[in-house]
Chain A
Amino acid sequence: MTLTDTLHTSFKTVMSYRIRSLLIVLAMALGVGAVVVLTALGDGARNYIINQFSSIGTNLLVVLPGRAETSGSFLGAVLGQTPRDLTLKDAQLLGRLPQVRRYAPLNVGAAELSAANRLREVTVLGSTADLIPIRHMQLAQGNFLAQGGEHNAQIALGAKIAQEFFPRSQAIGQRVRLGDSRFLVSGVLSSQGETMGFNTDEIVIIPIDYAQAMFNTTSLFRILIEAKSHSDIEPAKQAILASLRQSHDGEDDTTVITQDAILETFDRILQTLTLAVAGIAAISLIVAGILVMNVMLVAVTQRTAEIGLLKAIGATSGDIRRLFLAEALWLSLVGAVLGFLLGQLGSLLVRIAYPQLPAWAPVWASIAAIAVALFTGMLASMLPASKAARLDAVVALSKK
């Protein structure tokens, strides 16, 4: 029997048992679809988080006080102790390193903002003009802390703050009160929305000197540093640590987190998570495989007389085995393709429901799901096919 005839004959057989075939195909399709959708979700979440991290800066290093034994992790930074504060002097020292393109000292606090008969509590960032490009923020209006203006009482408002306080008039040039000090609005940030849980639309930025005075501190919360290039990140990290060690009397009491290290950690965690959910979904493929085996075993029993007849009219055991394997192949193949399409449809629905989540199933997951479905289907049909092939023709013919 030729391969084409085997495939054609088995396809007709599959089509003639419509309900039975439909159920197996559905089981396979659900398994493959689950793998595709879940990996799309996992990979989407991974890409979403990576995009969020990437959007906060390029070649970014964050220097924070305290020594954590682990690197590249916020947890270490949170648990780290602060034997010595970071100061503006430290920041200026780091700004002079050859690997550093620009730097921005940072202080964070909260204060009451009042203007135009309105009052509200806002998050205050104290920094320099370089914070804007380092953190990939943009000014919609104005020219915040332009060259030479670092020591003026200027303030940049987040998009939402500017809209709230000055809904009908130009915010630039207006005077506002922040805490006990008065500031001149010199810039309005473009709306960026929330990034990593931090909403830049609802902050204000003032010069670092004013922030330190307002919060009565000489220390810094962070120093943000942008390396000159991607290849400069690691040398910059080493140079920063060496430089701070020297200025802190030989103490290793600061931590440098690189954006790359955070990204790598998240990438690793989320990739593992994606694999784990794919693995869980793949269990349903094994269940589908068992269903294939069960149905094929029943089919062999039901079609015993037919198998006997085929042997009587000249089919070899190999012909019988191939016919049953081809049936399983069709069921698995149609199930896998349908499952792939269902999975793509599911991913599309997720993307429509959550546009910010790039839920695209990775190619490897789709290929793996289809391959596992075919492999499971074929493997599961081996036993029934062998059973059919081994049937004694005379005994089989005697069955009704």
Chain B
Amino acid sequence: MGDQAVYALNNINLQITSGEYVSIMGPSGSGKSTLLNIIGLLDKPDSGRYELDEKLVTDLSETEQAQIRREKIGFVFQSFHLVPRLTAAENIELPLLLGGVSPEQRQRRVNDALNAFELKQRANHRPAELSGGQRQRVAIARATVMQPSVILADEPTGNLDHQIGAEVMLLLENLHHQGTTLIVVTHDRELGGRAHRQIGMRDGKILTDQFHDTH
């Protein structure tokens, strides 16, 4: 309606340091997922700059951006986004396949991931045969199998009950304790409150940016 431009994000100025645990909170339409997509190089800002590891990445080619997503960023989605026809092990293997990792290496790293996320017994099960919590664990294993420096989680507990959700958050926070930067998008205040840094958004703008010592 009308010719006024609508910006999903507007005048965002944000710096996240390596190893931080950040939550981005806000109501639906506040722009938090768009911000996450830009951080994850799935989306491009119409204007502005985005630097990752002190390197300007907004002007990189599609192939170069794909390589960064593959090597430095791990995604965890609300709806898991597992490939239904593949087994848990095969889903975890996908980023390694795309990265051209050798079959022996793939086998070893998938096994490590299955063990780390207690999925060994479910390795050959398809997503339809797994519980919600197990599915999300497979998704997290997939996100970490390339040992990325950043994990981006978009409503990671949105499809899980409270207890399973808490378990999934512990897994993600464990990754953070090992040095991975963890950025979680959520509209759940309790969940967002677990992060060391909490960013509040509304109408495409950052309203609050607070640091909390949760320990």
Given the known inter-chain contacts A5-B100, A13-B85, A305-B81, please indicate yes or no for A313 contacting B75, CB distance below 8 A: yes
Name the contact of A393 in the complex, choosing from B42, B70, B95, B142 (C-beta under 8 A).
B42
Q: Is the CB of A312 within 8 A of B67?
A: no
Give the CA-CA distance A393 to B42 in the complex, in Å: 6
Q: Is the CB of A316 within 8 A of B62?
A: yes
- Tell me which residues across on chain A come within 8 A of B147, comparing CB atoms: none
- State how many angstroms separate the Cβ of A400 from the closest Cβ of chain B: 8
Give the CA-CA distance A306 to B142 in the complex, in Å: 14
- Tell me which residues across on chain B come within 8 A of A314, comparing CB atoms: 66-67, 69-71, 95, 98-99, 146
Q: Which positions 13-44 of chain B face chain A at CB distance < 8 Å? A: 37, 40, 42-43
Give the CA-CA distance A9 to B91 in the complex, in Å: 12
Q: Which of B40, B71, B98 has the most CB of A within 10 A?
A: B98
* Interface 1/0 per residue, B81-118 and A, CB below 8 Å: 10101000000001101111000000000000000000
Q: How many residues of A contact B (CB 8 A)?
A: 25
Q: Is the CB of B98 within 8 A of A312?
A: no
- Tell me which residues across on chain A come within 8 A of B143, comparing CB atoms: 313
19 contacts between A and B (CB under 8 A): A1-B97, A1-B98, A1-B100, A309-B83, A310-B94, A311-B69, A313-B94, A313-B98, A314-B66, A314-B70, A315-B66, A316-B62, A316-B66, A317-B62, A318-B63, A393-B42, A394-B42, A397-B42, A400-B79
- State how many angstroms separate the Cβ of B155 from the closest Cβ of chain A: 13
Name the contact of A2 in the complex, choosing from B83, B94, B100 (C-beta under 8 A).
B100
- A150 in the interface (beta carbon within 8 A): no
- State how many angstroms separate the Cβ of A241 from the closest Cβ of chain B: 76
Give the CA-CA distance A42 to B79 in the complex, in Å: 59
Give the CA-CA distance A16 to B63 in the complex, in Å: 29
- Tell me which residues across on chain B come within 8 A of A2, comparing CB atoms: 100
- A209 in the interface (beta carbon within 8 A): no
Give the CA-CA distance A315 to B63 in the complex, in Å: 8
- A232 in the interface (beta carbon within 8 A): no
Q: Is the CB of A312 within 8 A of B85?
A: no
Q: Is the CB of A313 within 8 A of B70?
A: yes
Given the known inter-chain contacts A311-B66, A314-B70, A314-B98, please indicate yes or no for A306 contacting B42, CB distance below 8 A: no
Q: Which of B70, B71, B75, B97 has the most CB of A within 10 A?
A: B97
- Tell me which residues across on chain B come within 8 A of A16, comparing CB atoms: 85
- A252 in the interface (beta carbon within 8 A): no
- State how many angstroms separate the Cβ of A7 from the closest Cβ of chain B: 12
Name the contact of A312 in the complex, choosing from B62, B71, B75 (C-beta under 8 A).
B75
- A267 in the interface (beta carbon within 8 A): no
- Tell me which residues across on chain A come within 8 A of B85, comparing CB atoms: 13, 16-17
Give the CA-CA distance A83 to B199 in the complex, in Å: 113
- State how many angstroms separate the Cβ of A209 from the closest Cβ of chain B: 89
- State how many angstroms separate the Cβ of A214 from the closest Cβ of chain B: 86
Q: Which of A5, A317, A393, A400 has the most CB of B within 10 A?
A: A5
- A319 in the interface (beta carbon within 8 A): yes
Q: Is the CB of B97 within 8 A of A394?
A: no
Given the known inter-chain contacts A312-B40, A313-B70, A316-B63, please indicate yes or no for A397 contacting B98, CB distance below 8 A: no
